[in-house]
Every structure is written in structure tokens, then in C-alpha cells.
Amino acid sequence: MVVVSPQLLKAIISGNRLLEEAYYLVLNDVEVQTLWEMSNIFAVKRLRYNDHGPVHAHIAAGSALYLFQLLRKRGVESSLVREGIVDTDEEASLVPLLGGLLHDIGNSIHRDNHERIGALLAVPIISRILEKLVEDPRKRIRLRQEIAHSIYCTAYDVECLTIEAGCVKVGDGLDMAEGRARVPYSLGNINIHSLSALSIKKVEVLEGENSPVKIMVYMDETAGVFQVDEVLMPKLKTTPLRRYVEVYAISGDRFLKTYSPS
């Protein structure tokens, strides 16, 4: 069991040379740093929304990687390995890692259509990072397209076509504790968006008994169910993960809602 947090990512990649190198290439990239900064200028300062910068990127990427690890542990096959895009799970893990870190950079231009914009903005960034990690040029291009797909598919109305992209989309939706809701809400306003976001205190991801993954969303007010219904579940239901993930909304010792794999 892990708690969704900004610290999760570094814990997961620790000791994995490929993922650590990829992470630090992104972290030290001036363009990425600036796009994260600009994403929060647009989202937070101008639109008065919640965070869409580097902290959220770390939470989404860590959650995505952990979801992918749990699914593989329980025998859910990597889409990329099965279809010959890459050769190993480690290479496939570059999709949840890089997709998670870069999925919101489109906010640096505008909130509207930011997933589609972000996929295009990410292509040259992904290309120069993969050039330092993957020797085979064809594999680099295939991976680039899969990572761009994972960013594009974080849009609510787009169906994810791989397990790896699905992990990015669900990982994005898991960042909702302590006011960090992924449905943007106007900072300072009191409404269902802000009340529900502030109600959620902790999100845990663990191996399920009856399904590969169990997600536990803890809240101190029933308003928090709104975030589960309007943020997490719509994302989950547009990914292949819907067959493998169960979700529980919990307040105190009460199970407010249970969502089973479909």
C-alpha cells in the first residue's frame, strides 16, 4: 500500500538506472522547468485554478508508475510489450513516467484543449530525452508516439488505447487529497468543487483481493464523493484499467460508495 504523494515517484524509481536517468533528464530540462512554471502562471495566477505545475506532475507520474507495477505484478500484460513497441517492462515504464511528468504542459498556453496542445508540445522534449536513453532510433520514435498518446488521452473525452496510457490518466485523477482536485475550481470560492476537494484527506493505492488494484479515497465530509464521481471515475472508465481497478470512497468507518471493475 502506498499513499499518493509527491514523494512516491522518487521512491519507485530509486535503483532503476533507466528510470532515474529519464527522470533527471526531465527534471533538469530548462524547457520543462519553464513550461511547468508557465502552466501554473496560467492555471493558478490567471485562471485562479488549483496547481498544475511540477508538484502535480510528480504526483501523477508516481501514481502512474505504481499502478503499472501493480498491474504487472498481478499478470496484466503491458500493451507495449505485447504489441512489440518495446522489448521490456522497464522500457514500457517510460510511458507512465514521462507521460505523467509532461501531461499538463499544455496549460502553459491555455487551459482549453491543453491535453491536445500538450501532446504536441511534448514531442520535441520526448525526442531529445529518449535520444540519450534508447539506442534504436525506431524504438525511440515508437516510444515517443506512445508517450504523446498518453498525454493526449488524459482528456476526459478520449479513450486510452494502452495500459500504460491508462495508468497516466488514472494517475492524474488520483491527485485529489487536501484540496488538490483535478477538476479545476476557482480558488477562494465556496462551491461543490472547492468543498469536495477540501474534504478528501488521503488517497491510497494497494493490491486488491478481488482485482489487481484497489484505490481507497478517504474523506472527512461526504461532499468528497463528488471528486470521485466527477474526476476519478470518468477517467478510469475511459481506460483499459476499468477492468482491473476497484474504488472505495470512505468517510470515517463508513464506505460511502464502492466501484467495481467493469
pLDDT, tens digit, 9 for 90 and up, residues 179-189: 665 555 555 56
Round to whole Å and give the CA distance between 228 and 56.
Answer: 18
Continuous segment of H or E residues that includes residue 199? helix 192-199
Number of other CB atoms surrounding residue 146 within 10 Å: 24
Q: Does pLDDT of 3 surpass 70?
A: yes
Over the chain, what is the mean pLDDT? 93
State the DSSP H helix or E strand holding residue 207, giving kind and residue range, or none if neither.
Answer: strand 200-207
**Total-model pTM:** 0.95
Number of domains present in the structure of the chain: 1
pLDDT of 178 reads 72
DSSP symbol at 186: -
Instruction: Report d(CA 1, CA 191) in Å as an integer.
Output: 32
What domain range is 55 assigned to?
Answer: 2-259
Q: Does the pLDDT of residue 106 top 80, yes or no?
A: yes
Centre a 10 Å sphere on the Cβ of residue 69 and count the other Cβ atoms it contains.
Answer: 17
Q: Looking at residue 187, what is its pLDDT? A: 56
- How does residue 190 score in pLDDT terms, banded at 50, 70 and 90? low
pLDDT tens for 107-166 read 999 999 999 999 999 999 999 999 999 999 999 999 999 999 999 999 999 999 999 999
Predicted local confidence at residue 242, as pLDDT? 98
Is residue 97's pLDDT more than 90? Answer: yes
CA dist 105 and 90 (Å) reads 24
